[in-house]
Amino acid sequence: MSDIMELFKKISKEGPASGPPEYIICGLGNPGDKYARTRHNAGFMAMDYLSQKCGIEIKRIRFKALTGEGTVDGKRVLFMKPQTFMNLSGEALQEAMAFYKIPIEKVIVFSDDVNLAPGRLRIRKSGSDGGQRGLRSIITLLNSDQFPRVRIGVGEKPHKDYDMADWVLGNLSDADCEDMYPCLEASYEIIKLIMAGKTEDAMGRFNGMKPKNKEEAAPADEEKTVTK
């Protein structure tokens, strides 16, 4: 009996953490089935993968978002998919941060990036919005760009005269989705590293990812500004 009690004590110590969220993991996108596979919804796709991987359902409506709470690598997290449409993403995040008193450096944001090919991603500790309007909303409302973000490549528009709104609201091809999937898989290790204070390690490990079976040159490391 004593052995069983000791086992119960050990399980109790190693079990899931409880209490309010310490981190917010937020994916950007547009709500509604018609946007589900669009380039602009790469952030939502990352959250859907994390939801399945971590067993955290994102279905409770709070803070102008679909949310879910759980534990990742021993840390309490709030998963968020803002339902405000992309240009107002900061409103949802601002409400959640204020409610839980979570500092901006403990917010991780996933978004799309038209400057990166499908299959590539780029992690940043901070920085400009790069023309991504969801990031712009967050930076404007929170008056800070000091939060880590993971930008998932969705590919450049086919020619300079192609309307950017039409491009980001267009559907990804099957081939693009296949190339992007490793980025979604990487999202789990990325958030664990960032929450562990190892953002530099995450950048070194994942910023050099290449699309499957493609050998194009890595994009330049500078920020590009594109209006979306």
Cβ neighbours for 153, distance < 8 A, ≥ 6 positions apart = 112, 113, 115, 116, 117, 118, 119, 120, 121, 122, 180, 183
Q: How many domains does the chain have?
A: 1
Residue 132 resides in a domain: yes
Alpha carbons within 13 A on the beta-carbon side of 49: 21
pTM of the model: 0.85
Instruction: Pick the closest to residue 47 from 169, 209, 191, 205 (CA basis).
Output: 191
Could you read off the pLDDT of 173-211 as tens digits, one per residue?
999 999 999 999 999 999 999 999 999 999 999 998 887
Phi-psi region at 105: left, alpha or beta (left = phi > 0; alpha = psi -120 to 50): alpha
- Lowest mean pLDDT across 31-45, 59-73, 207-221: 207-221
Q: Provide, rounded to the nearest whole percent, the portion of the chain with pLDDT above 90.
A: 74
Q: What CATH number does residue 144 fall under? A: 3.40.50.1470
Catalytic residue, candidates 22, 30, 39, 40: 40
* Choice between 14 and 69, residue whose per-residue pLDDT is larger: 69
Q: Is residue 36 part of a domain?
A: yes
Residue 228 forms part of a structural domain: no
Q: What pLDDT is recorded for position 3?
A: 55
* Neighbour count for residue 33 (Cβ, 10 Å): 6
C-alpha to C-alpha distance for 212 and 228, rounded to whole angstroms: 27
With respect to residue 120, please indicate whether it lies within any of the assigned structural domains. yes
Give yes or no for residue 48 having a pLDDT over 90. yes
The answer to whether position 13 is within a domain reads: no
> Where does the pLDDT of residue 214 fall: very low under 50, low under 70, confident under 90, or very high at 90 and above?
low
Which range marks the domain in which residue 83 is found? 20-206
Is 101's pLDDT higher than 70?
Answer: yes
* DSSP H/E element including 76: strand 75-82
Q: How is residue 17 written in tokens?
A: 């953490």
Whether 159 is catalytic is no
Residue 54 lies in a domain: yes
3 in a structural domain: no
E strands of 154-199, at which residues?
none
